[in-house]
């Protein structure tokens, strides 16, 4: 069993940025859970100490040794299920995303889906190679839940990595939506996709460091002056869909209440 000190010693940030080795996932945006005891997975690392920290932390780089990276990431599903919250500690760094694209985790990950939640004009102006442009909630649900994807081998995994321009609103929101819908169609604690992650810093952060993995190697901001009208139309459609979904959820809850 690895100790907290050993895990921190192997944190890769030590080489490039000496200082705090465990960083706040969303500064001042969340507090540590008070009732939380995530079970260590596969006997690889003891994560109990994470619950004692004063803020949510990024956990994907707890152990830099390549054989532990995605095993460590698997903590998210357990941690989230025991301690539900709206904020996210399931962050994937841009360097790790690049490693995924290079195929460095193909032996432990069956398939990786990179979901780009930006608007079409942003995606067409430059996106991560192999990413899917699913900016509408119903598109994400239909793609992943209409016919759920299963891994090729039982001991391998399917991971989904969401992002938007900065991974601040659209990416995390879509990630939460898929988790909620996945939970609704399964009997707890089963999930079709237990491993959902968010690219820290979004497309912009990735583009600035790994332009060679972008196609085309360009970056179109959401608020680009040439697409102001299209942006407003897409925002309006998104809000309309969100309102309709809330209405359906309310009707569903009322129906369940009557049956009780």
CATH number at residue 179: 3.40.250.10
Residue 39 lies in a domain: no
Residue 105 lies in a domain: yes
Give me the catalytic one of 7, 56, 83, 164: 164
Residue 193 lies in a domain: yes
User: Which are the contacts of 55, defined by CB distance < 8 A and separation ≥ 6?
Assistant: 24, 25, 27, 28, 30, 31, 32
Q: For residue 177, report the phi and psi dihedrals to the nearest 5 degrees.
A: -60, -45
Residue 231 lies in a domain: no
Q: For residue 117, report the phi and psi dihedrals to the nearest 5 degrees.
A: -95, 10
Q: Is 175 labeled as catalytic in the residue annotation?
A: no
Q: How distant is the alpha carbon of residue 28 from its chain centre?
A: 19
Nearest-angstrom CA–CA distance, 218 and 206:
11
Q: Range of 197's domain?
A: 91-221
β-bridge mates for residue 112, sequence order: 159
Residue 135 lies in a domain: yes
CB count, 10 Å around CB of 22?
A: 18
- Strands of the 196-199 sheet, one edge to the other: 91-92, 196-199, 157-163, 109-116, 132-133
Domain count along the chain: 1
Residue 250 lies in a domain: no
User: Which are the contacts of 132, defined by CB distance < 8 A and separation ≥ 6?
Assistant: 113, 114, 115, 116, 143
pLDDT per residue as tens, the chain (260 positions): 333 332 323 333 323 333 332 333 333 333 333 333 333 333 333 333 233 322 233 333 333 344 444 544 443 333 333 333 445 568 999 999 999 999 999 888 889 999 999 999 999 999 999 999 999 999 999 999 999 998 877 778 999 999 999 999 999 999 999 999 999 999 999 999 999 999 999 999 999 999 999 999 999 999 999 999 999 999 888 776 655 665 566 555 555 555 55
3-state DSSP call for residue 86?
coil
């Amino acid at each position: 069993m690895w100790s907290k000190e050993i895990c921190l010693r192997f944190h890769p940030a030590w080489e490039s940025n000496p200082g705090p080795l465990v960083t706040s996932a969303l500064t001042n945006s969340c507090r540590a859970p008070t009732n939380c005891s995530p079970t260590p997975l596969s006997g690889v690392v003891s994560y109990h100490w994470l619950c004692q920290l004063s803020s949510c932390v990024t956990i994907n780089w707890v152990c830099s040794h390549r054989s532990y990276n995605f095993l460590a990431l698997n903590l998210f599903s357990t941690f989230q299920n025991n301690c539900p919250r709206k904020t996210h500690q399931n962050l994937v760094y841009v360097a790790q995303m690049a490693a995924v694209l290079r195929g460095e985790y193909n032996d432990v990950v069956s398939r990786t889906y990179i979901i780009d939640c930006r608007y079409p004009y942003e995606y067409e102006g430059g996106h991560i190679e192999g990413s899917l442009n699913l900016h509408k909630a119903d598109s994400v649900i239909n793609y992943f839940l209409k016919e759920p994807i299963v891994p090729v081998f039982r001991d391998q995994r399917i991971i989904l990595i969401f992002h938007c321009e900065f991974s601040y609103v659209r990416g995390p929101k879509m990630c939460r939506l898929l988790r909620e819908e996945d939970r609704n169609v399964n009997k707890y604690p089963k999930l079709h996709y237990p491993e959902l992650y968010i690219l820290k810093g979004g497309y912009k952060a990735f583009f600035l460091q790994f332009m060679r993995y972008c196609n085309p190697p360009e970056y179109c901001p959401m608020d680009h002056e040439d697409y102001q009208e299209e942006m407003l139309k897409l925002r309006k459609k998104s809000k309309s869909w969100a309102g309709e979904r809330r209405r359906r959820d309310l009707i569903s809850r009322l129906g369940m209440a009557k049956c009780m």
